[in-house]
Amino acid sequence: MASRTKRKTIRQPNSSSLPGSSSQQQSTPEVPRFVYPLNPRIYFEDEANLKTFLERFVPRKIVIPRYVDLVEFERNQDFESVLSKLRSSGLLNVVTIRETQVPFDYIKAFYASLIFKHRGSQFVVTAKFCGKEVVVTSSELNSMFGMSNSGGEITTVNNDQNPWYDFDERKCWEAMDFTPQFNSSKRPMVSGMTPPQRLLQYIYSYILRGRVGNHPQMSKDDSMLIYAILKPIPINWGKFILTYMNFCRAKKRALPYPLLVTHILKQKGFEFTTAEMTNDTPFWRIRVEIVTRAQNVDDDSSDDDDDVVAPTQKHPISYRGRVSLPMLYDAMQGLQTSLDNLKIQQAIHGYNLNQLLVKSGEHWVVPSMDALEPYMYHGSSSSQDTTTYQETQGIVADDAADDEEDEMDEE
């Protein structure tokens, strides 16, 4: 049975009912609520924002949450050189954020309504949804995690005054004491890294520049990030994080910083129910065992989904005999996204049908199961299966196109 979406309004409490208020009645404008059909607690005050959320962000992937198990790494002196660099920059407090539950739908709503601004020397992001306005400045982010509020930016803008323009990546490899191998695209690969180097690789590719795939390959942006951390070079990391948020949002990439955004939303007064949360899993935690084991795996296929192009690709997918939890997790996230899209479409059809009935002077009727029996699906239908398959493939194909664009950008 098709479900319905409903536009709701909230009436603000009349000022006369508040302590110390005048007894004279004052009219208060109604605040519109355009609700998310699958969770009415998520809503927007502008219908266009809800449409953007449904069409552009509900289908979007979220980068797998990852955090560094600091206690475990601090017990091993081999990693102290990397940890000390992260401490001095303040980034250690960012990469060790742990949230045992993450509200994926709220994270997507945050990015759907996100606006990026320059305010003097500050970078600011604002997001308005669920009756709250979230404002985060680069200085606030720096203060929250103990990062410097001064310093430059990492950018490849073509400017003679920009020290990062035409950056020589060999500086990064020298700072890492790493001699990379190269793939067919002449990009450096992470195979052969030592455990401390591998820890850096996990931090930049899963957290600071989090992405869904392409982890075995280092981009130029990755090299600049590592060089800035190891040298070290003063960077306004609050600006870096907010800029990357906006970049991924605009470029239709997987949405980054799920643990950081969850932490920020809680700081801004959001409360979530258990049903709205996704529980953490063991592979969210970056452990010594993972970076040590990865040293002996040349293709890095043991810990992520880098070999997977898309479920719709023509050539068989080769996992080289390994299927990891992150691979399954990402596949399940894709299936859940497809299911959510189907539920939303069902709700929209139900809503539109109800509108037509109301216009015709009819009322919405919930029929009995006996009345529905002639319309129930029985057995298998090749035509119905084909239609459902094509609709699902269309959703997956859009995700695959985004991933392909991301990989081209990385190169």
Q: Give the model's pLDDT for residue 118.
A: 87
Question: Does any domain span residue 254?
Answer: yes
Question: Does any domain span residue 114?
Answer: yes
Tokens of 369: 């199961």
CA–CA dist 44, 53 (Å, integer): 9
Name the helix (H) or strand (E) containing 382. Answer: helix 382-410
Task: Check pLDDT > 80 for residue 161.
Answer: no
Q: Give the model's pLDDT for residue 156.
A: 67
Higher pLDDT, 146 or 295: 146
State pLDDT tens for residues 50-68: 999 999 999 999 999 999 9
Tokens of 253: 């990439």
Closest CA to 207 of 158, 252, 241: 241
Question: Does any domain span residue 59?
Answer: no
Q: pLDDT > 70: what percent of the chain? A: 64
For residue 232, whether the previous peptide bond is cis, meaning omega lies within 30 degrees of 0, is yes
pLDDT level of residue 89 (50, 70, 90 thresholds):
very high
Q: Give the model's pLDDT for residue 409.
A: 44
Question: Does any domain span residue 345?
Answer: no
Residues 145-161, mean pLDDT to the nearest whole number: 79
Which residues share a beta bridge with 8?
Answer: 33
State pLDDT tens for residues 162-199: 778 888 999 999 999 999 999 988 899 988 899 999 99
CA–CA dist 95, 182 (Å, integer): 28
φ, ψ (nearest 5 deg) of residue 159: -150, 130
CA–CA dist 121, 150 (Å, integer): 10
Question: Does any domain span residue 326?
Answer: no
Name the helix (H) or strand (E) containing 173. Answer: helix 170-176
Name the helix (H) or strand (E) containing 242. Answer: helix 237-250
Question: Does any domain span residue 388?
Answer: no
Question: Does any domain span residue 283?
Answer: yes
pLDDT level of residue 374 (50, 70, 90 thresholds):
low
pTM greater than the 0.75 cutoff: no
Question: Does any domain span residue 183?
Answer: yes
Q: Give the model's pLDDT for residue 230.
A: 94
Structural domain count of the chain: 1
Please enumerate in sequence order all residues whose Cβ is within 8 A of that of 396, keeping only pairs 6 or more positions apart, or say none. 310, 311, 312, 334, 338
Segments forming the whole domain that contains residue 88: 67-307
Name the helix (H) or strand (E) containing 132. Answer: strand 132-137
Q: Give the model's pLDDT for residue 381.
A: 39
| Contact indicator for 261, 129 with CB cutoff of 8 Å | no
